[in-house]
Amino acid sequence: MSPEIKRRGLMLVLSSPSGAGKTTLSRLLLESDPAITLSVSATTRPKRATEVEGRDYHFISREEFDSWIRKDAFLEHAVVFDHRYGTPRSPVMDALAAGRDVLFDIDWQGTQQLKERAREDLVSIFILPPSHAELERRLKERAQDSDESVSRRMAKAGDEISHWPEYDYVIVNRDIDRALSQVKAILEAERARRSRLIGVGEFVAGLMR
């Protein structure tokens, strides 16, 4: 028997402006691929009625958040709309060490910080909405459910979108099935990337013995 080739887990970042379909894509990816798990962020913003502690976020106080920063317990953290968001470090490190992949639903600020820490383990995808009209329509729909105005949401979307050149891949979400298949292809390809594989040298030595 040839020795087995293993691989390091990877960190997959999906970023996009609100209204580009990122949340749906993340959910479909997690449902279809048991080898990837979602990194659950911690936040100081209040829990919404539909949200579940530990599934959507870890809802923590401002004091707790600050103490996690002091303990260096976040892989990245940022302020968005006056609230704090951060990625707890230890669940991510445990998953990667076990050869599992971790999905991050974070913005450009989080991605920049993660990139500095994760280096080659990070794979980043930026999701774009298909058109101005469609982006506006989705932002209007969302603004109805919250106290944030459409114009504030549009400004935030423009800020987020301006960071697309920092990502490894860019996908235009014209059709959710097509976009999902592209995300899956990127994940499958990155799993076969030579720099992520462990034990190829031994496997090859076994081939030529």
Of 28, 40, 150, 161, which one interacts with a copy of itself (CB under 8 A)? 161
CB of 162 to a copy of itself, least distance (A): 8
Q: Could you identify the residue written with the tokens 């592209």?
A: 182
| Pattern 117-146, a copy of itself, x by CB under 8 A | --------xx-xxxxx--x-----------
Of 6, 35, 181, 198, which one interacts with a copy of itself (CB under 8 A)? 181
Helices assigned H by DSSP within 9-164? 22-32, 62-70, 89-97, 108-118, 132-143, 150-161
Residue 11 interacts with a copy of itself (CB under 8 A)? Answer: no
C-beta of 98 vs 192, nearer to a copy of itself = 192
101: which strand partners? 36
Compute the distance between CA of residue 148 and CA of residue 156 in angstroms, rounded to an integer. Answer: 11
CB of 198 to a copy of itself, least distance (A): 11
CB of 180 to a copy of itself, least distance (A): 12
CB of 1 to a copy of itself, least distance (A): 8
Residue 204 interacts with a copy of itself (CB under 8 A)? Answer: yes
According to DSSP, the β-strands at 58-59 and 36-38 are: unpaired
Compute the distance between CA of residue 204 and CA of residue 31 in angstroms, rounded to an integer. Answer: 35
Residue 158 interacts with a copy of itself (CB under 8 A)? Answer: yes
Compute the distance between CA of residue 186 and CA of residue 193 in angstroms, rounded to an integer. Answer: 11
* Contact in structure between 87 and 39 (CB atoms under 8 Å): yes
Does an H or E element contain 78, and which? strand 74-80
- At 193, list the tokens: 């990337």
**183, burial (CB in 10 Å: exposed 0-12, middle 13-18, buried 19+):** buried
Of 6, 48, 140, 193, which one interacts with a copy of itself (CB under 8 A)? 193
Residue 209 interacts with a copy of itself (CB under 8 A)? Answer: yes
Residue 184 interacts with a copy of itself (CB under 8 A)? Answer: yes
Q: Which residues of the chain form contacts with a copy of itself (CB under 8 A)?
A: 1-2, 5, 125-126, 128-132, 135, 157-158, 161-162, 164-165, 167-172, 181-182, 184-186, 188-190, 192-194, 197, 200, 203-204, 206-209
